[in-house]
Chains A and B, each alone.
Chain A
Amino acid sequence: EDKVVQSPLSLVVHEGDTVTLNCSYEVTNFRSLLWYKQEKKAPTFLFMLTSSGIEKKSGRLSSILDKKELFSILNITATQTGDSAVYLCAVEPSNTDKLIFGTGTRLQVFP
């Protein structure tokens, strides 16, 4: 059965810290991996990764995919209180239009 596992489940840090969120997956046919940020209600798109070893970067956030080891990491440097959210990882298999989501990592950043 296809599945996505995120770790840790929750994380509490202070402003300025650097955090690494993990996403491992098992899918029969991999097409892409996506990261979303969910602050209150609507998840918002962060990154889509399809190729192994190529880092996607947006400001203080960056992500990389390892297709051999079947995982991705999301890094956030110099965290701010506005980074507090649930970060969702999803994988899209190539043989279906059904995204498979992990349960998310809840990040809390305190001043």
Chain B
Amino acid sequence: SAVISQKPSRDICQRGTSLTIQCQVDSQVTMMFWYRQQPGQSLTLIATANQGSEATYESGFVIDKFPISRPNLTFSTLTVSNMSPEDSSIYLCSVIGDLVNSGANVLTFGAGSRLTVL
């Protein structure tokens, strides 16, 4: 299955600043997904990063707050803009991994970027 490198692994940020998270995959993938996991919570899909077109955002997430780039089939970035303490979370990128039983619901995740906003 794909190997995903994500950086930074963690950061402490000041309120009002922006931070860009990078996600590099060792193979070409059509879709990459960005998830957020708030402390002690579940994973919530932010958006699907599509190569060659704008990202597709889920309800409650907007491009101005979470701009995403997808310049090629192995790389994507997520920016968390104008951060507030409520943005303190783990941000994870993921790709579809090996197919099991011909299903498409197997995701491989990066190690995550743990952001703390002061």
The answer to whether A binds B is no
Binding site for B on A (CB under 8 A): none
Interface residues of B, Cβ cutoff 8 Å to A: none
